[in-house]
Chain A
């Protein structure tokens, strides 16, 4: 079973920041937080991952709380092409363990 809890759906206005929360209250010290997204009828796409420090790349920022029990994925300027299902996944840092997908959050970016 997935070890994360995410809202079922969210809306965001185009051009605004999209903030997607994820709860992972049972995360262990050696587990990372990964984010993937799946645009309709495509394979999931890797976005970002982190352990305890905040991370940023060209796609998004990941903010992890100090106690690591929750995190927020931030898309700074959402576009219509960011409409997708976003998955937050907790995963051990080594050993290539499988990705365990939950239901994710369906983000709708509205013009």
Chain B
């Protein structure tokens, strides 16, 4: 079956702009998580959505937001972009339901965002 699909793969934005990234999870997966990867901070958890509800949230400013649609597709938005937001943004999907035993997460290829 198809894997996790993230679009676009590459993006260049200017400081102050906003950006929306998209993630389509594996069919049947209802949990979508977002991570930011930078050379300095490594892989950091942004937030997780399950059945259209944000279930977990990392330690990022309010400029970072997300949502999930009824078909489990998810988007994340970053407003008022800063140079430090340049990173690889990764999306992961899993089938884990609330209070259910954890399952492995499957990652997409990521969206590389460059802020200039």
Contacts and interface: CB of A to CB of B under 8 A. Distances in A.
Interface in A65-111: 87, 91-103
Interface in B27-71: 31, 33, 35, 42-45, 48, 50, 55-56, 58
A43 B108 contact: yes
Chain B interface mostly: strand
Interface residues of B, number: 30
B113 to A, nearest CB: 14
B99 interface: yes
B22 interface: no
Contact of B107 (A45, A92, A100, A102): A45
B21 interface: no
Interface size class of A (residues with CB under 8 A): 20 to 34
Contacts of B43: 44, 87, 99, 101
B101 A93 contact: yes
Interface of A: 32, 34, 42-46, 49, 87, 91-103
24 contacts: A32-B102, A42-B110, A43-B109, A43-B110, A44-B92, A44-B107, A45-B107, A46-B105, A49-B104, A87-B43, A93-B102, A94-B99, A94-B102, A95-B99, A95-B100, A95-B102, A96-B55, A96-B94, A96-B96, A96-B100, A98-B33, A99-B43, A99-B105, A101-B44
